[in-house]
Structure 1
């Protein structure tokens, strides 16, 4: 998200079973950032708790109710800047046999521009389960003299405000949609965002263009059926409250994108947010392939089907879900037509670089050969480099800015575990690497954790990332641990110990 931060992210979405079975609460947290001209920046959190994962007990009125204790702490340079600890009550029910609802919590925290460590702890007060705690770095940066865009808040429902409350923005009470997944039963994607400082940039009553659209997440190609624009007049705060009918949007990974453009159509600032769509009844449209001519193109000389199919398979790390399904059902089958294969490969690169698709392909092929050398391994059970998790991440996002490589740690946590007898079991880690990117797709401080649980050469698996669309495992540190005596290890606080230090403070 240009010019400031990735302002809406999934912080965690964790499912650890039923609270009655002694496990964690199942909840989902989103956060967003806004700016008030009179009060400054504020940080807004949206927490949705799955009722069936909470322990309900009888209250004074004779009804059953769940109670969640939530602690949120914002620190900067080890000093607490803002803090809140409160209890979230579920709706009351007469019977706990069929609890099929979620209950929502929304909070606002005033925070000046800066980088903060944001920690949240959540505990079911009616359960013996330990609290769940996790943290993430957040960056707030709204310039006073440059145009900027707030967070993109997904909206489940809205109504006109009768009395201002925590849900109120611009005269509306907005109930957030606290997920980044849209199943086929939901066919409307509604969102809210604000644009700041347009008057300072365009002048009083100045005009500008506000574009918003849906693009493929993997290749950033906008979908022409989902492109909209508004002509705006500069105000202290311009509001975008809009929606898309996604009935015909195929299954896949996407971004909502907002752009502010000037009269010369130059992009001054943009913002985007990831979401997923499941829509199995809608087939992707590949009619543009049939219209391509491969004569005199770089694919014309690719006449060996096996070689051509290998090239097409190597595109998987940067392909959309629609493209991968087309390959699976149209090309990766016996008797697939050579001409269709050639047209597909040409179309793939024309969509990514219309001016010089051949150059784009050759650049990518060099990267494919590099990851095959670095991460691939031979043998009957071997993999091409692009088929490995490390190779896929490298091809999709490029080389990381730093890598923490820990082939073996005698003790990754500094803790010892008593196995119930007089002896103590030592704990260490399997080999692991942490890749750190300063910026990915306008989002800062992105990390990928790879582990080699089988202690086999080259066999590193991605076990956690804070990049939207990738596996997000709040308990990834437990996956690193090994016990010399074979004893079971308990859960530990997220991002503590030595591995947590490497994750939080990349070298």
Structure 2
């Protein structure tokens, strides 16, 4: 085993010399001189946007209806002055693949975003909302949404795994749950604006959920029980209610009081029970559905849904004493205050309401989780650690198939005069940092 490792290291040293690395000692000295500042370089994640897919029963036989919503904040769109208005425009491509990667659906459309006031082009709370509906066979899918801003030419992508239910299969079924931003009533007509981000923090008086009940038995009512569980799996809200049923489809709105719910990710479950009489005997049929939602602080980046985890993720930029100070807070409010203070000291432009460095840092964490996760969360891996601290490499050399050498990658940061070498020790994509042999603070690992 050691012979194989030594062989790998000798080969890596040979490649390093050829590629201009002057040796392990130089790399260790360079790394030992690192400061606590985070590199801010050519990291570009493209526009940040949000997507939601909600499945319902379809009017078409053997199909389910999939409603896809996309929300793009105005601050992520490049606007141009056009006569007496400002116009932003972006292109969306929606792709649906089976688990075997066979294409089921693909469509591209362009969205215009006109505003009359320049201030509207940068307001965080303003957004463009677009929607598409398609009928698909029940089953598992991978949905990909590609967004491209027409003016900046920047693009970004969202991937989501979907399970589309067969709502005609069982006697009682429930659609997916939609979080509702606004509910307005005009007589018997109701109109809703969905929450696409999954974040209900801005709804100070609680929020609504919407779902459809499908019953294929003759009943006049269905018993509905909904429950909310906090991040520690404690039930924090819930109610049982009887819903009248007319026909095979019923639309249900439920208001949930989120007052007192702390920051975190919550689990919501809905169970419906119908009790018809079949052949003179009472029978019970159940249907269930569930989803998650988030409570987030409005003054923190949207990707932060768990303050304790966000504090743990400071490990790549905070010194031990700073991290201990934040963690030792005795109350949630004090902990959040110390966390904000930590980032306020590093705000590159305190005159603006945004802390761009904090947003970039946690965007890197989210990117690492999406791209470098293995047995650990992506930000905890060696590749995730380097990416979060230093951002995108200027160049990556990949060597997956060198003869008699384990797969490895070399990441180059030219402005910092640094190189990092990762070796896949197991052959399963679990890349470990082999050079340099020190941590981010210059200590031997």
Band of TM-score, shorter chain? 0.5 to 0.7
Residue 209 of structure 1 deviates from its aligned partner by: 0.8
What do residues 43-75 of structure 1 show as CA deviations (whole Å, max 9, x unaligned)?
11221111012111133x541110010010113
Which residue of the partner structure matches residue 54 of structure 1? 77
Equivalences for residues 488-499 of structure 1 within 5 A: none
Out of 244, 247, 250, the residue aligned to residue 238 of structure 1 is: 250
Do the aligned partners of 1:50 and 1:103 also contact (CA within 8 Å) in 2?
yes
Q: 1:218 aligns with which of 232, 239, 248?
A: 232
The structural deviation recorded for 1:31 is 1.6
Partner residue of 2:273?
Answer: 261
Q: Is this contact kept in 1: 2:72–2:128, CA < 8 A?
A: yes
Structure 1 equivalent of residue 115 of structure 2 = 92
Deviation at 1:448, TM superposition (A): 5.1
* 2:106 alignment partner, SS class: strand
Q: CA deviation at 1:144?
A: 2.1
Would the aligned equivalents of 1:453 and 1:480 in 2 still touch at CA under 8 Å?
no
Deviation at 1:124, TM superposition (A): 0.4
Within a 5 Å distance, the mapping from 1:53-72 to structure 2 comes to 53-59=76-82, 61-72=83-94
2:382 is paired with a residue of what secondary structure?
A: coil
In the alignment, does 2:105 pair up with 1:109?
A: no
Matched, 1:434 2:363: no
Check conservation: 2:396, 2:411, Cα contact below 8 A. Answer: no
Measured in 2, the distance between the counterparts of 1:175 and 1:83 equals 25
How much has 1:261 moved relative to structure 2? 2.5
Measured after TM superposition, the shift of residue 232 of structure 1 is 3.6
Structure 1 residues 180, 88: CA separation in 2 closer, same or farther (over 3 Å shift)? Answer: same
Matching residue within 154, 157, 163 for 2:179: 154
Distance 1:44 1:479, change over 3 A: farther
Where structure 2 has 5 or more consecutive residues not aligned to the other structure, the ranges are 1-42, 276-281, 299-311, 313-325, 332-370, 399-408, 417-427, 431-445
CA shift for structure 1 position 233? 3.3
Give, in angstroms, the shift of residue 187 of structure 1: 2.0
2:176 aligned with 1:137: no
- Please name the residue that 1:82 is paired with: 105
Aligned to 1:276: 294
State whether residues 43 and 108 of structure 1, in contact with CA within 8 Å, keep that contact through their aligned partners in structure 2: yes
Instruction: Note the 1:296-307 alignment, pairs <5 A.
Output: none
Using the TM superposition, give the Cα deviation of residue 249 of structure 1 relative to its aligned residue in structure 2, in angstroms: 3.4
Match of 1:32 among 51, 54, 58: 54
**So what's the TM-score if we normalise by structure 2?**
0.54
In structure 1, list runs of 5 or more residues that go unmatched: 1-20, 163-169, 281-316, 318-324, 331-430, 436-446, 455-459, 465-474, 490-500
TM-score (structure 1 length as normaliser): 0.48
Secondary structure of the corresponding residue to residue 204 of structure 1: coil
Shift of 1:228: 3.8
Pair 218,25 (structure 1): closer, same or farther in 2 beyond 3 Å: same
The C-alpha deviation readout for 1:409-435, integer Å capped at 9, x for no partner, is xxxxxxxxxxxxxxxxxxxxxx97625
Q: Distance between the aligned counterparts of 1:237 and 1:185, measured in 2? A: 29
Matches within 5 A, 1:362-381: none
For the 8 Å contact 2:219–2:274, the answer to whether it is kept is no
Change (3 A) 1:111 1:190: same
SS in 1 for 2:75: helix
User: Kindly tell me: are residues 160 and 463 of structure 1, through their superposed partners in 2, closer, same or farther at Cα, counting changes over 3 Å?
Assistant: farther
Distance in 2 between the 1:215 and 1:267 partners? 24
User: Kindly tell me: are residues 231 and 67 of structure 1, through their superposed partners in 2, closer, same or farther at Cα, counting changes over 3 Å?
Assistant: closer
The whole-number CA distance in structure 1 between the counterparts of 2:264 and 2:141 is: 33
- Aligned counterpart, 1:468: none
Cα deviation, 1:83-107, whole Å, max 9, x if unaligned, reads 2111111132243576312121121
Q: Give the direction of change, closer, same or farther, for the CA distance of 1:37–1:210 in structure 2 (3 Å limit).
A: farther
* Shift, 1:117, TM fit: 2.6
- 2:222–2:244: 8 Å Cα contact kept in structure 1? yes
Distance 2:91 2:194 in 1: 21
- Say whether the 8 Å CA contact 1:217–1:253 is kept in structure 2: yes
Would the alpha carbon gap of residues 193 and 480 (structure 1) be closer, same or farther in structure 2, given more than 3 Å must change? farther
Question: Match of 2:114, SS?
Answer: coil
User: RMSD of the TM alignment (CA)?
Assistant: 4.4
Measured after TM superposition, the shift of residue 204 of structure 1 is: 1.4
